Amino acid sequence: MRLPNEFVLLIQVLSEDKKLRAWVESLDQLPINLRHAELKKMVLKMREEGEDETVISLVESLNKKPLLDAIVQALKDV
């Protein structure tokens, strides 16, 4: 899967932030219902903290398993 440029930037950020990277990698191991709940909590927190909506959209898109898998794989290659 070829990732859009926005996700390449996300991978760069994740590769530099060990805590956030570990969180994203842990999502891959969760059952779908728990992954959705985790992402929902993170999105709400990000909105409360005034994060950029583009970044929030990127995080929300991690609900799509093929995309999450591609990002986790890309992180392994970094």
Total count of domains within the chain:
1
Integer Cα distance of 30 and 9 in angstroms: 24
Query: Token pair 């070829």 is at which residue?
Result: 2
User: Per residue in 28-46, pLDDT tens?
Assistant: 899 999 999 999 999 999 8
Domain of 11? Answer: 5-77
| Cα 73–Cα 24–Cα 48 angle in degrees, nearest 5 | 145
pTM of the model: 0.80
| pLDDT tens figures, 44-77 | 998 999 988 888 888 899 999 998 998 999 888 8
